[in-house]
Every structure is written in C-alpha cells, then in structure tokens.
Amino acid sequence: MLSISLPARINIVGSPTDAVEGAYATISAAVDRRGGARIRAADGLEFCRAAGETASFPRQRIADARGFDIEAAAVNALLRYVPDFAPRLRERGAAISTWTDIPASSGLAGSSVLLLAVLGVLRAFYALDQRRCNDYVLAEIAQRAEEQEMGIVCGFADRYVPLFGGIAYLSYHGKLWHAPVGEEPFATYEPLARWAPPLRFCIATSGVQRNSGSTHAPMRARYLAERRRGSGPLLQLARQLGETAWRGKIALLAGDLNEFGAQITRNQELIDTMMQTCGFPNGAGTEVRALIAAAHDAGALGAKLTGAGGGGGIFALPAQGQEEALAEALRGAAQRAGLTRSEVFVVPVSETGWIVEA
C-alpha cells in the first residue's frame, strides 16, 4: 500500500487573482491540517471514502462518477494528459481510499487536497514518468481536473501550495485564459520561509456550506468580458488586489508584520467591493464579515476570508503571543452569531508539502 498526504492552504494576500485574473500573484501558505489517499492493488478500479461508501468502475474513462467526483476527475484527467497511464490502468487494478482532517467547505482547499492526493497515489502506483508528470504538471492537471472534469471554475494556488508546501509568492503571469496544459506558463513558486518570520494563523470556519465555483464563475465571466473590452471596474480592482501581494511580500521580507497585516485587511476590503460589484450584496458573506470584525476587535494584525466567500471561513494574523487569546475571541464570536458548526484552531505554516509513505 502507498499513502500520500498533503496540507491545507490559505491565500494570504493577492487573492482571488489566481482564479479571476490569472496574471498577478498571491502570497499563499500551506497550513497544518492534512488530507490524503491510500492505494493498493485490486482486481478492478475501486474507490472508498472514510464514511464507508464504496464503488467499483471499469479500468477506463469514468462517465458516471456515482458520487466519487474527485476520484473520477483525477482518473479522467490523467487519461487526458498522460499518455502512458491508459495502458497501465488496463493492465492493473487499484483500490483507492481517501481521508481528511480539513473541515469541509472551509475555504482551506480541502477538495483540492484530496484530488491532488488521488493524482499523487496514481502517479506513484502506476510508476508514471516523474519528469514528464512532475509536480508542476501534476498541479496543472489538478486545476484542469476540477475545471474541465468537475465543472468548477477555479484558479491555481489551491493546486500548487499543497504539493510544494511552505509560504510562497506565486506568480500567475500568462495564465489568464486557462489554456491547455503546456500551452501557457506554469505558475512561479518562490518560497519565502528563509526570510519570513515564523507565522501562526488563527482559522475560524463558519460551518456554512458553499461551492467555490458558484462565486468564481460569475466573477471570472465578468472580468474576462471587461478584459476583452479593455475597461471596467474589475480591471482596476484586480490591479489593486495584485498590489497587496507585492506590497505584502516587501513587508513580510522586512519582518514588518503590522504592514503585512494591513495588506491582508486591504485585500479583504477589495474582495468585498469586487463581490458586491458582481452581484453579491453582502460581499464576502454575513458570517465571514462577522468573524473578520471579531478578529479585528480582538487585536488581529489582519484578517481575511479564506476561499471564495459566501461561507467557508476566515484566517487572522495574531500579534506575537496572542494566538490563543484571538482564537478564544473567535470562538465566542461564532457562538454569538449562531454558527454552531464553526471550528476555530491555531495552525503554523506547514513547511512540508506532499508526503509519500509505503
């Protein structure tokens, strides 16, 4: 049996330019909650979830996923982009099971982590060429799997950060149109941990379920329409969002966490404006905005949604030594807001991306 696990991620500043614009940058970080997949030899192609659901499929492209959308998308995307996968799949069956300790619909890239884990165990189990199917290619295939196989409009940070780990500056230059793999640049992944001070984040989930694609789809459609015209409010907002990333990088490398936090807060203000402009009257969402306000009231240096908004969760950057006090304040705010399914926890940056175990 082979097992792969990967960390969750937060987009700290610059988002959602990785999904909506695709020509600017984010500072993103892997955080210490993980999900993964296990694979073993089997007669057919079998999928199993931690809750006990199982299903068997022919060893070929999967037309009806029967609820196993993530696993089927991974198989189908590899068949589309990796030529030597199909004959190896026909020759040898596998059983794949998944697990996660990332809260569902929390804005921490939980579904992307599982998709990457399935892609990773398939690559290892079927001994796919790790030069032609390297980690950059795997991240790109993961994005196409969600967008083309699952129909979810999405960007690139969620697919790169869990694989590579750490805290990094990601440039998406040339990735505006989401062209086929190999027809546009890979993202540039610049690790920052060597210069950045140690960071811990408070994360508060709202417990409100939402599909990130339902937010990104109308925003991206409107952005691209403005891009074709050459004018529009989202173009200006995207430029301002991109500015939070490069200014945030300068502040982080200088160890100026107050300014770094200010760029996080500025990013959130721009997201609220962008979402309102795109027809979401409550911006990032009532629950998200309440948790962000509570974080600021409790002394956070900066706070912002994580994920697409309309639910999901937030992260906050605490002042040094104030992590647990901030977390307790967020628990109280969630309780007062009636968010009975909320989870609040403190996590460090996970310097390790994907881990393979035999």
pLDDT of residue 81: 96
CA pair distance 243, 226, nearest whole angstrom? 19
Residue 311 confidence (pLDDT) above 90: no
pLDDT digits (tens, 9 = 90+) for 224-234: 999 999 999 99
Structure tokens of 354? 């994907």
pLDDT digits (tens, 9 = 90+) for 208-254: 876 666 788 889 999 999 999 999 999 999 999 999 999 999 999 99
CB 272 within 8 A of CB 234: no
Average pLDDT score over residue span 11-27: 91
CA pair distance 202, 48, nearest whole angstrom? 32
Average pLDDT score over residue span 79-103: 97
pLDDT digits (tens, 9 = 90+) for 105-132: 899 999 999 999 999 999 999 999 999 9
Q: How many residues does the chain have?
A: 358
Buried b (16+ CB within 10 A) or exposed e, 41-58: eeeebbbbbeeeeebebe
Average pLDDT score over residue span 154-172: 97
CB 162 within 8 A of CB 354: yes
Compute the mean pLDDT over every residue in the chain, rounded to the nearest whole number: 94
Q: For the domain with range 2-192, which CATH number is right: 2.60.40.10, 3.90.550.10, 3.20.20.70, 3.30.230.10?
A: 3.30.230.10
Q: Which of 23, 25, 31, 46 is nearest to 95 (CA)?
A: 46
Residue 317 confidence (pLDDT) above 70: yes
Average pLDDT score over residue span 35-46: 97
According to CATH, the superfamily of the domain at 200-348 is: GHMP kinase, C-terminal domain (3.30.70.890)
Domain locations along the chain: 2-192, 200-348
CA pair distance 103, 27, nearest whole angstrom? 22
Close Cβ partners of 346 (under 8 Å, ≥ 6 residues apart): 200, 201, 202, 203, 323, 324, 327
Strands 302-306 and 200-205, by their bridges, are: unpaired
pLDDT of residue 50: 85
What are the distances in angstroms from CA 169 to CA 7, 94, 122, 128, 178?
A: 17, 37, 28, 29, 20
pLDDT of residue 312: 87
What secondary structure does DSSP assign to 32-84, as a single string?
EEEEEEEEEEESSEEEE-TTS-EEEE-SS--S--TT-HHHHHHHHHHHHH-TT
Q: How confident is the model at residue 61 (pLDDT cuts 50, 70, 90)?
A: very high
